Amino acid sequence: MSMTACGSGGSSSGGGGGGGGSITMGFSQVGAESGWRTANTKSVQDSAKSAGITLKFSDAQQKQENQIKAIRSYIQQKVDVIAFSPVVESGWDTVLKEAKDAKIPVILTDRAVDSKDTSLYKTFLGSDFVEEGKKAGQWLVNEYKDAKDPVNIVELQGTTGSAPANDRKSGFQEVIGADPKFKIIASQTGDFTRAKGKEVMEAFLKSNPDIDVLYAHNDDMGLGAIEAIEGAGKVPGKDIKIITVDAVKDGMQALADGKINFIVECSPLLGPQLMDLAKKVVKGEQVPTRVVTEETTFTQEQAKQVLSSRQY
Ligand code: GZL
């Protein structure tokens, strides 16, 4: 776990402070597992600088125990506000109660927790992952509306136990489940990384000769799977249709090149809204319990049109 203090100058005010001096935020990031995460980290760090917020930043390398350690460290340092993207949904109540007892407000960003006690955090800022799964499913239903034969789908799930993996799976299943021709013949985690996505797709290809579609919970696993598909002598985007989520630059390039068929956008650019929310919660102002980001979807034609203007 790497801990760095970065961001604008200014002294750190004590926990619950944020009076005249600049605000200090302790941020625990999931890791650096994907292009999306890299873009999200940049958005948080750049926005803290622009907002004049002193940022203490830690990378948990996708381990919950590292995030819990970082949050405890921020509590000891008496930061004014804690923000984090929980790598998995469960197991946060104890440390969030410690932050609440220390009177340090917590903001969830990107991923949610399944704590029943919603007083443990001030707000959630991020995407509706169920909606993202539904959008992916709806494209598939439209794409195969005239098909009579079974449509064999393999699924590369995100990190086990994470909100995006759970919700993108359930949203997708909710839409395709209405038609029995859609069959998910294999589903396994690729942990949101290219390497694991390639490895799992290689195994899928070995044990399933008739794959029609890949649904990958993020671009990076889809890009790894493309290497596996090409390695098996098949044509990605044609022999096997591919749907992914995120819309990072490399994914959009593959979409424009015809190797991916459809991408559901999930914006990593949460930094500006996060800093606005942080200033409000430190001042004790009311904030919405949930701030959902605006997102869209891309076809191959749309990717060709927007590729040069993408920010990440
Ligand atoms: C989604 C985010 C996911 C991305 C992946 O908001 O948590 O984690 O979809 C990233 O690319 O690794």
Out of 266, 270, 293, 294, mutate this one to test ligand 1's pocket (max ligand atoms within 8 Å of CB): namely: 266
User: 12 CA distance to ligand 1 centroid (A)?
Assistant: 30
Give residue 15's pLDDT: 40
Whose Cα sits closest to atom 6 in ligand 1? Answer: 110
Give residue 20's pLDDT: 53
Give residue 216's pLDDT: 99
Query: What residue ranges define each of the domains in the chain, with the CATH number in brackets?
Result: 4-127+267-294 (3.40.50.2300), 129-266 (3.40.50.2300)
Distances in Å between the Cα of 19 and the Cα atoms of 16, 50, 52, 183, 240 are 9, 19, 14, 57, 57
Give residue 311's pLDDT: 84
Contact 106, 96 (CB under 8 A): yes
Out of 29, 30, 36, 312, mutate this one to test ligand 1's pocket (max ligand atoms within 8 Å of CB): namely: 36
User: 303 CA distance to ligand 1 centroid (A)?
Assistant: 20
**What residues in the chain have per-residue pLDDT under 50?**
1-19
The pLDDT tens digits of the residues spanning 259-268 come to 999 999 999 9
